[in-house]
Amino acid sequence: MSLTVLSAAICTLLGAENTAPPPTYSLDSGYYSVITNDRQLCPPVRDFEVTYYYYSRANTSNPKVLKINDDNLFTASGFDINLPTKIFVHGFTQMHTSIDAQGVKDAYLSTVDCNLILVDARVLFAGINYIAAAHNVVPLGEYTAKFVCWLVSKGMPLSSLELIGMSLGGQTVGIIGQSMQCGKPPKVVAYDPAGPLFTGLPIDERLDSTDGDLVIVIHSNQGFFGYPSNCGDVDFYINTNPYDQPGCHLVQYLLENSFDVVGYLFCSHNYSWRVAVYAIYHPTAFPARQCNSSAEYKEGKCDGNDLQYLGDTVTSSLVANYKVSRMHSIGEIYNYKLEIADFDMNCWRLLILL
Ligand SMILES: [Ca+2]
């Protein structure tokens, strides 16, 4: 039996030939699948496994669905090619209605008149099988790259595109950027891109600084759920202890959150998108200094170094300088550190209510 025939047989057993997604159930805010597909063995992503939800200031709560090559849906959506476009990809067990995706959507639409697309890959990123979900990152990224280039063919300027992703979504936006046949995205932003099963992979299988003209990474749980080291043009590291971010202390968190153990485990990981969403509302809230180590930062040795604000407002001049320096000094990375001691990770919600 050839490998192809064997793979097809396995895919059939896994349900890959079916026309409907596998049985699922929800637990808390997560999305879990009874049967998960192993994308290393199976065909490319099928249309029903990913949905693109389109929002705008004229429609912030009832999104329109977009599908590759469906011109009628594109026209009906009201997509405005004169506005910038931002696309967000969620993380493991999440979906487009998850709190991170909705937080990013509300923040951008409140501050920028733009096209806002939330990718819903709940089937591909379903729990509890993280291995299968991680294997789905490359196929989802390649599929979504075709979707983005179809938007470009409909008139969306590539120059106004920004890709944003959380965790597995942070890895996915890298694959999208490297796979786009219509050109590189000008900006890619990753919130604590996933580390497990991605650490040490070649750059064509994960997020890296070549996936966009400017790749910004916000680390908050590096070495655990987050990627352990620099993987962008500009890497922000929040605080010196990535396993115990403010508000994520074990006893305090469990007491304040009805002993939600799962929530505690992901607390420092989720800190990245919470801080990033706050920074969308307040772009200068979190100043960071270029610094080579947390120890030097704490000793004040970096106080006079270049300052950038955490978020997607990094100046283009910095990147231009970086691109030049990289040509002469391979491995040189702009590495920014900051301390956030008193940030209430829930306070951004108040801003949305306001
Ligand atoms: Ca890459």
Residue range 219-229, pLDDT digits in tens: 999 999 999 98
The CA 58 to ligand 1 mean position distance, Å, reads 34
pLDDT tens for 123-155 read 888 888 888 889 899 999 999 999 999 999 999
Per the model's pLDDT, the better-predicted residue between 314 and 141 turns out to be 141
Q: How far is it, in rounded angstroms, from Cα 252 to Cα 254?
A: 6
Inter-axis angle of helices 168-179 and 137-153, to 10 degrees?
A: 50
The CATH class that applies to domain 46-353 reads alpha beta
What is the whole-number distance in angstroms between the Cα of residue 82 and the centre of ligand 1?
A: 29
pLDDT of 320 over the 70 cut:
no
Mean pLDDT of the residues in the chain: 80
List Cβ neighbours of 136 (8 Å cut-off, separation of 6 or more). Answer: 37, 39, 45, 121, 124, 125
245 C-alpha to ligand 1 centroid (Å) = 28
Contact between 332 and 325 under an 8 Å Cβ cutoff? The reply is yes
Return the closest-CA partner of residue 118 out of 103, 129, 130.
103
Distance CA 172, CA 151 (A): 18
pLDDT tens across 187-213, in order?
A: 999 999 999 999 999 999 999 999 998
What distance in angstroms lies between residue 198's CA and the mean position of ligand 1's atoms? 11
Distance 204 CA to ligand 1 centre (A): 4
Task: Give residue 209 CA to ligand 1 midpoint distance, Å.
Answer: 7
CA–CA dist 298, 304 (Å, integer): 13
pLDDT value at residue 27: 46
| Ligand 1 centroid from CA 171, angstroms | 8
Every domain of the chain and the residues it spans: 46-353
* pLDDT reading at 350 higher than 70: no
| CA 65 – ligand 1 centroid, Å | 28
